[in-house]
Amino acid sequence: MNTSPASPDAPADEGLPFIQRLSNVARYEGGRVVILDRRVYPASVEFVTCADYGAVARAIGEMVTQSYGPWVAASYGMVSAARSAQAMSHTDAQAELRRAAEVLSHARPTTSGGMTRSINRIRDFALGKLAEDREHLEAATLAFVESTLQARYREDRAICSHAVDLLPDPATILTQCYAETLIGFVLLISQERGKEISLICPETRPYLQGARLTAAAAHDLGIPTTVITDNMPAYVLSKGTIDAFVCAADVVTLDGHAVNKVGTFQIALAAHYHKVPFYVVRNPSAANPTIATVEIEERDPEESLHAMGVRTAPRGVSGYYPAFDITPPHLISAVCTSRGVFSPYDLRKGFGPDVQAH
């Protein structure tokens, strides 16, 4: 069945739930970047307005947005930098664009490899435009960013189309955390194909992205959704009612490791034990040829002692909060990419540095 939008001219986010529409992830408004505050959604729909790229980087670091959100916000942060650079001398403008790219791409360390590559593309475009048409630097950079974001969403649709091919009908899938369009399109395409699909998502402490963001997105699409606590996946998998564990990853390395929200590894272990396939939906990162190139972000330990602003542990006890964990390739059944479905051991064949981009 054709899983493309109704029209080739349709927006790439057509049909997706509120939280995944590009303008609701982040948008650019005359030098400012407006970001949906996912720390309070869906209880409250609030936006954080960032006056410059430095404020965007701080918002990313403070978890105003996560998953694909930082890529969108940082991209618009580069447009804000282009606006500032437009009024500077050529030398100062170059320095401003390079500084903005560095700050934005390193707002969170674990995703900095792939983020750097993406943001540097915008930086290089803006530097080129600076040399030939300074007067329209901001407008041209904004057009480039919006074209790039639309292309990314279309790529995500292609990735998820391959994942849906692997699912039975009907299918109950277990996911982890909030995978933005890479869970949204799995659900949407399943609906488009007439597949009966339901979703189980762990709550994902301490920010409860699963209970709030994933569940809200699935509910908006009319998908039967069940939220479980983070200590339930192994038991739920043991019941024999889960057809697949499907999640995205913040990084997939070329040597087949998936780096995703902490808790993914233990679910993968339980899925492997119960013979439930684990499908990762994400293109691998050429910027991360091996797992050794990925830095696991360790956030403020205090964050693990709170939930939605309420302290859950007595004062004086210690916390620990690695934001991500690493699932090795032997626990991954397949990696679904825009170029097809790969064994985690074969990713270099389709995405290695010696492979020409499609």
Catalytic, 13? Answer no
Terminal CA-to-CA distance of the chain, rounded, Å?
A: 23
**Rounded-to-integer distance, Cα 286 and Cα 254, Å:** 7
**Rounded-to-integer distance, Cα 222 and Cα 225, Å:** 9
Consecutive H or E run containing 118: helix 112-132
**Rounded-to-integer distance, Cα 252 and Cα 292, Å:** 12
Q: How far is CA 341 from CA 191, 326, 344, 348, in A?
A: 21, 20, 9, 13
Rg (C-alpha) for the chain, rounded Å, is 20
Q: In what order do the strands lie in the sheet with 258-261?
A: 251-252, 258-261, 324-327
Which is catalytic among the residues 133, 250, 255, 325? Answer: 250
Tokens of 91: 């030398």
Residues with active-site annotation: 250
